[in-house]
Amino acid sequence: MKADKYLLFRIGDIALATASSGVMSIHETVSVGPVPNTAHWFCGLAVIKGKLLPITDMGKFLVGKEACGHVLEVHPSLGIAGLRVDQVDGFTETIAEIHDVDLAFKALPEAIGLSRFAVSYSSVWYQVLELPVLLNCGRFVDIAAETT
CATH label of the domain that carries residue 102 = 2.40.50.180
Give domain status of residue 19, yes or no.
yes
The DSSP bridge pattern shows strands 51-57 and 6-11 to be unpaired
Confidence of residue 122 (pLDDT cuts 50, 70, 90): confident
Lowest mean pLDDT among 64-73, 128-137, 138-147: 138-147
Cβ atoms of 65 and 74 within 8 Å: the answer is no
Give domain status of residue 23, yes or no.
yes
Give domain status of residue 148, yes or no.
no
Residue 10 scores a pLDDT above 90? yes
Give domain status of residue 32, yes or no.
yes
Local structure of 69: helix, strand or coil: coil
Total domains in the chain come to 1
- The C-alpha atoms of residue 123 and residue 129 are separated, in whole angstroms, by 19
Local structure of 139: helix, strand or coil: helix
Give domain status of residue 101, yes or no.
yes
Q: Say which residues have a Cβ less than 8 Å from residue 20's Cβ, sequence separation at least 6.
A: 3, 4, 5, 6, 7, 91, 92
Domain assignment of residue 117, given as a range: 6-141
Give domain status of residue 1, yes or no.
no
Q: Say which residues have a Cβ less than 8 Å from residue 67's Cβ, sequence separation at least 6.
A: 11, 12, 57, 58, 59, 60, 84, 85, 86
- Give me the chain's average pLDDT, please: 86
pLDDT digits (tens, 9 = 90+) for 40-80: 999 999 999 999 999 999 999 988 999 999 999 999 999 99
Give domain status of residue 84, yes or no.
yes
Lowest mean pLDDT among 6-15, 46-55, 110-119, 136-145: 110-119
Single pTM value for the model? 0.87
Give domain status of residue 85, yes or no.
yes
Lowest mean pLDDT among 11-20, 36-45, 104-113: 104-113
